[in-house]
Amino acid sequence: MKIHEYQAKQLMAARGIPVPAGRVAITVDEAVAAVRSLIEDSGNPVVVLKSQIHAGGRGKGTFIEHPEVRGVIVVTEAIDGGVEAAEARIGELAEQMLGSTLVTIQTGEEGRRVSRLYVEQGVDIDRELYLAVLLDRSASRNIVMASTEGGMEIEKVAEETPELILRAEIDPAIGLAPFQANELAHGLGLEGDSARSFGKFVKALSDAATQLDTDLIEINPLVVTADGAVMALDGKMAFDDNALFRHREVEEMRDVTEEDDAELAAKEAGLNYIKLDGTIGCLVNGAGLAMATMDTIKLVGAEPANFLDVGGGATADQVTTGFELITRDKNVKGIFVNIFGGIMRCDVIAEGIVEAVGRLGLEVPLVVRLEGTNVALGKQIIDESGLDAVSADSLSDGARKIVELTT
């Protein structure tokens, strides 16, 4: 699960991790109202207005409705014109941003609707660094990743100048040790007060990762201010969905408007669904087999419309919900059901299909491949239902058939 930048900063601030002061706004008035106190409290006339969406690249992104407006804007009007000038500018920008669609390198062409803004105090930046806590799968532990190349795309740094990325493994029984924080600070070229502040920062951040069960915390950039303080200028957090049961305060931060409707509906029904751009709907049991089914469809010349794993113990009801999700997608020109019944019995799947088609109707070709437990009974149920379904002997046979029927 992902959260917004301002929410990540709230969670950090609550754990003593320094972040700039800021206020969230869902209306133009709220955005304007935040300006005066931010400027007066910080003594810095600069404020920053940041669109809050669950995607990166906001600073360089632009709005479909206002191509000249970027997703993040530094407002400097107060330097010459006083607080009122900054308020006027923030009001004007908030008006354009709220309800408009922000397109960044991570949103795709359709972009994301902005419904929350974050107004933040300006910071005098001396250096920009990169800091993250994430799982190293080979080590089976979290690691701290740090780099002097703040503000850059870290994947690019990793590829072009891997020597500029520092790593420290976090022992789950000990946490990040002081010497490791010191090594990182030294490696980043920090000295004196900045090195000490960084040490506290990275220790608190690695503890937060453990306490909050994050998949990823990424601070890009982490800044050293002109007076030597260390602060998170941006903040991204993603959480382990399997651990949300013990983090109600995080679960409450969920912004459902950032999530896909069909994926949410699937989750509620206990299914795993991911919408894709192709035309062949797939209903499969097992994540590996579901991926392989998509791959095979592509191999025989079409594109999958979705990933759908109905799991190992699906009921007829869940199969019906799965069918509903697939047929809701208007791009779908054909459906391929691919089941290897192990624990899941083929007759249960067959009943689910017959029931779903009876309820929802079927306007596109359907190919069914059943294998495994009670396969004969499953095939018999489909045959006797009078359903207009083509049966297949294997995954590749089924993929070929559905592609032929739809082209």
Catalog residues that contact other proteins under the rule CB under 8 A: 135, 137-138, 140-142, 154-155, 158-159, 171-173, 210, 213, 215, 240-243, 245-246, 272, 274, 276, 284-292, 294-299, 303-304, 307, 309, 312, 340-343, 371-373, 394-397, 399
Q: What is the DSSP letter of 32?
A: H
> Cβ closer to other proteins: 197 or 279?
279
Smallest distance from other proteins to CB 310, Å: 10
Smallest distance from other proteins to CB 276, Å: 7
Catalytic residue from among 77, 218, 258, 351:
218
Smallest distance from other proteins to CB 118, Å: 23
Smallest distance from other proteins to CB 90, Å: 32
> Cβ closer to other proteins: 324 or 397?
397
> Cβ closer to other proteins: 154 or 362?
154
Could you tell me which of 279, 288, 263, 273 has the C-alpha nearest to residue 336? 279
The radius of gyration of the chain from alpha carbons, rounded to an integer in Å, stands at 26
Smallest distance from other proteins to CB 342, Å: 4
Smallest distance from other proteins to CB 121, Å: 31
Judge whether 130 counts as a catalytic residue.
yes
Catalytic residue from among 6, 118, 130, 273:
130
C-alpha to C-alpha distances, 391 to 190, 234, 306, 348, 379, nearest whole angstrom: 66, 53, 21, 16, 8
For 162, the token pair is 């891997």
> Cβ closer to other proteins: 84 or 261?
261
> Cβ closer to other proteins: 66 or 298?
298
Neighbours of 193 (CB within 10 A): 13
Judge whether 218 counts as a catalytic residue.
yes
The Cα diameter of the chain in Å comes to: 81
Smallest distance from other proteins to CB 288, Å: 2
DSSP, collapsed to helix, strand or coil, labels residue 166 as strand
> Cβ closer to other proteins: 341 or 365?
341
The angle subtended at Cα 255 by Cα 253 and Cα 259, nearest 5°, is 140
Q: Give the count of alpha carbons within 13 A of 135, CB side only.
A: 10
Q: What string of DSSP letters covers 351-376?
A: HHHHHHHHHH---S-EEEEEEETTHH
φ/ψ of 282, rounded to 5, equals -125, 140
Preceding amide of 221 cis, omega within 30: yes
> Cβ closer to other proteins: 82 or 172?
172
Residue 190 CA to chain centroid, in angstroms? 32
Residue 349 CA to chain centroid, in angstroms? 32
Could you tell me which of 277, 371, 272, 370 has the C-alpha nearest to residue 322? 272
Between CA 356 and CA 350 the distance in angstroms is: 10
Contact at 8 Å (CB) between 348 and 315? yes
Catalytic residue set: 130, 218
